[in-house]
Amino acid sequence: MSLFSSSPRNFGLFCIALLLTVGVNAEARKKKKKSDAPPPVGWHIEEGWAHQCYFGPDFVKLPDTDRRMARSSVLDEMMKQWSGQMNDGISLDAAAIEKVETTLLGRPEKVEQVVISNLEKCKTSATSGGIDSSAWNSWLRGLSSQLTAGECLTPFNYTMFDYLDIGTDWQRTMPLCAGDRVRISGSSTDKFRISEGGGWITVEGDTTLSTLGSENHPCNLEGCWAGMLIARFVTESGVETILVVGLQTTFEAPEHGELSYRINDNTFYDNKWYQHGGLVDHTAIEISPAK
């Protein structure tokens, strides 16, 4: 006699157990199927999201030619959303978009990381209970600088000519890359004075008036004279170095930064160029690569 015919109760229990087992197995298969599903590629939206987000492909698995083409198309798709072309309420800073595009066109391999970071910002916006792209916009504005951090885009490989302005402070700021060596010089015959009735001097300064230890002069070290030509180098990290130039000096940039120059003076209203007849002196400045 079978179990089922001898005991209806046992048969009922068996059916319940069978249904539970089938249900558990079905749920397990469902979960497994969901976890095994490949991540989306392209535009995708999930329940509760306020807008779509773009998912990039697995670049590592792509052949070289396809990988390069994918970088270009991924950049195009991200820019569509950034610039408001998706009509989803997202419209980011136009100047930042242009700057990032220029940066990535010169460094296409970095698109692969940018699309991942962009997806995180997009998801945050889409799930914020409304469209809030402020953090996304802030990220985009700083992205170009992040992508070029440590690079120097302006190596000093040219010669710059200018005329010294004795009526202002630091002038003609120019970028230097780490390791750039430059020669800074001023013409030796052009004269000016830095006080009413004072003596006429050149870029060598008033060698009778030291500014050693003076808090009112930018150059106050040994060998600093009032009115002399000086320079300043400020690194990207904010470290400032004052250079004694005079007629000429050579400088090597320890880091990326900016170079500017002026005369070593603390007032400018009474400064005057030397004039002989109709000719007025003007000190020529030259900054060139130093071998």
Phi, then psi, of 104 in degrees rounded to 5: -75, -30
pTM for the complete prediction?
0.58
Q: What is the mean pLDDT of residues 183-200?
A: 96
Q: What is the mean pLDDT of residues 218-242?
A: 95
The number of angstroms, rounded, from the C-alpha of 104 to the middle of its chain's C-alpha atoms is: 12
Taking only the tens place, the pLDDT of each residue in 47-67 is 999 999 999 999 999 999 999
Tokens for 71? 């970088």
Q: How confident is the model at residue 291 (pLDDT cuts 50, 70, 90)?
A: confident
- Is residue 242 within 8 Å of residue 221, measured between CB atoms? yes
186 vs 4, residue with greater confidence? 186
Name the residue ranges covered by the structural domains of the chain.
3-36, 42-147, 160-289
283 strand-pairing partners:
none
Please tell me the total number of residues recorded for the chain in this structure.
Answer: 291
Helix residue spans in 64-211 (DSSP H): 64-82, 94-106, 111-126, 134-147
| One-letter identity of residue 12 | G
Q: What is the mean pLDDT of residues 165-175?
A: 94
Contact 162, 136 (CB under 8 A): no
Both structure tokens of 73: 């198309």
Per-residue pLDDT at 5:
47
pLDDT score for 21: 52
Name the residue type at position 188: S
Greater model confidence, 158 or 11: 158
Question: Taking residues 112-124, what's their average pLDDT?
Answer: 97
Q: How far apart are CA 122 and CA 112, in angstroms?
A: 16
